[in-house]
Structure 1
Amino acid sequence: MKEIRFHGRGGQGAVMASELLVQALVREGNYGQSIPAYGFERRGAPLQAFVKLDHKPIRERVQVYRPDGIIVLDESLLAQIPVYEGLKHDSFAVLNSRKQPNFESAPQELQLMATVDANRIALEIFKAPITNTILLGAFSAATGLVGLDSLKEVVTEFFPKKIVDQNLQAVERGFKEVSVKSRQQVFRKAE
């Protein structure tokens, strides 16, 4: 089983992103769970959401304490909360950041780091810092755990017609503009 922890702020769509990811995983024949953890339940407050995926049914529905990877929707959280806490060995991180992937301040468990300037992309597409679908595209490109086409299908079905095209563009740009680096080599640079 793979377990993923989302870090975001209330109103950024981390919970929605976790639900979209699970729907895309299920579409590909996997089993999945999305588990929100709201904390203070107010706009702007840090929150977490969890995704579990497997090729067999998942019976246990509990919070993720030892994730295989993290997705961080808000770069400011990197300095405010311990987003890397509990990472398993050979884990990954998909980060909303203007910076290129850098392992200097990352724990040794982290083996793959992906960054995408989701704020810039979101402002260009939505005119607001809505980064969730951009990070899903980046996650797809960085990990290969879910296909871009599955994400696009779910976005098309989930969002109201008036914002489907924007979110499809966001997923695709996240996929294309992510920079991915492993501790061993650079896999892909931003275009």
Structure 2
Amino acid sequence: MWEIRLHGRGGQGAVTSAELLARAAIAQGKFAQAFPSFGPERRGAPVQAFVRVDDKKILKREKIYEPNMVMVLDPTLLDVVNVAEGLKEDGTVVVNSPQANDELKKKYSWPNVAAVNATRIAMDILSVPITNTTMIGALLKASGILEPADMEAVILDRFGPKLGPKNFNAMSKAYEVTNIN
């Protein structure tokens, strides 16, 4: 089972990313669940969301404490929150960062890193620094949990005919350029 914890700030789309991943997995015949973890935080406060995906029924209904993968939408969280807390020994941190993987691994002692400058991609394609769909591309490349094409219908449904194709293109670009090691 894939257990993924997403870190972002309120309003950046971590919860939306979790929902999109779960919906796409279900559409591919998998079992999935997505849920947020936040209280009355204001926009910009750190938030978490969770996703589980498996080929069989998921019976767990609790927060994810030992994820296989962590996705970080906002690099400013790296020095505020221990995003890798509980990460499994061979787990991967998928991070929005312009820094090289080796620098990130050394600085934070992460076992595996998948880094992409999602903010740059989002600005180039979407003209806004909202990285939720862009980071899904990096997560897909790092995990192999789904193919990028598996996300197209749910992204188009969620964002509509104007923004849907742009979000799908941003996700696809991130999938192409994400560095993993």
Normalised to the residue count of structure 2, the TM-score between the two structures is 0.94
Q: Secondary structure at the match of 1:4?
A: strand
> Separation in 2 of the partners of 1:159 and 1:111?
34
Residue deviations 1:47-72 (CA, integer Å, cap 9, x gap):
00000111111122111111111000
> What's the offset of the Cα at 1:41?
2.7
Residue deviations 1:118-143 (CA, integer Å, cap 9, x gap):
11111112221110000001111122
Q: Secondary structure at the match of 1:5?
A: strand
Q: What is the 5 A alignment of 1:21-170? A: 21-102=21-102, 103-107=105-109, 110-170=110-170
> What's the offset of the Cα at 1:5?
0.2
Q: Tell me if the contact between 1:152 and 1:171 (Cα under 8 Å) persists in the aligned partners.
A: no
Among all aligned residue pairs of Structure 1 and Structure 2, give the percentage whose two residues are the same amino acid.
Answer: 40
Partner of 2:20: 20
User: Quick check: which one's helix share is greater?
Assistant: 2
> Separation in 2 of the partners of 1:98 and 1:12?
18
> Separation in 1 of the partners of 2:33 and 2:154?
15
Residue deviations 1:68-119 (CA, integer Å, cap 9, x gap):
1100000010011110111112101110000111221334xx4321100011
| Structure 1 letter corresponding to 2:88 | K
| Structure 2 letter corresponding to 1:11 | G
Q: Tell me if the contact between 1:71 and 1:95 (Cα under 8 Å) persists in the aligned partners.
A: yes
> Separation in 2 of the partners of 1:15 and 1:23?
12
| Structure 2 letter corresponding to 1:144 | G
| Structure 2 letter corresponding to 1:87 | L
The answer for unaligned runs of 5 or more in structure 2 is none
> What's the offset of the Cα at 1:39?
3.3
Q: Tell me if the contact between 1:5 and 1:50 (Cα under 8 Å) persists in the aligned partners.
A: yes
> Separation in 2 of the partners of 1:54 and 1:143?
13
The answer for unaligned runs of 5 or more in structure 1 is 182-191
Q: Secondary structure at the match of 1:33?
A: strand
Normalised to the residue count of structure 1, the TM-score between the two structures is 0.89
| Structure 1 letter corresponding to 2:22 | V
| Structure 2 letter corresponding to 1:48 | Q
Q: Tell me if the contact between 1:67 and 1:86 (Cα under 8 Å) persists in the aligned partners.
A: yes
Q: Secondary structure at the match of 1:136?
A: helix
| Structure 1 letter corresponding to 2:168 | L
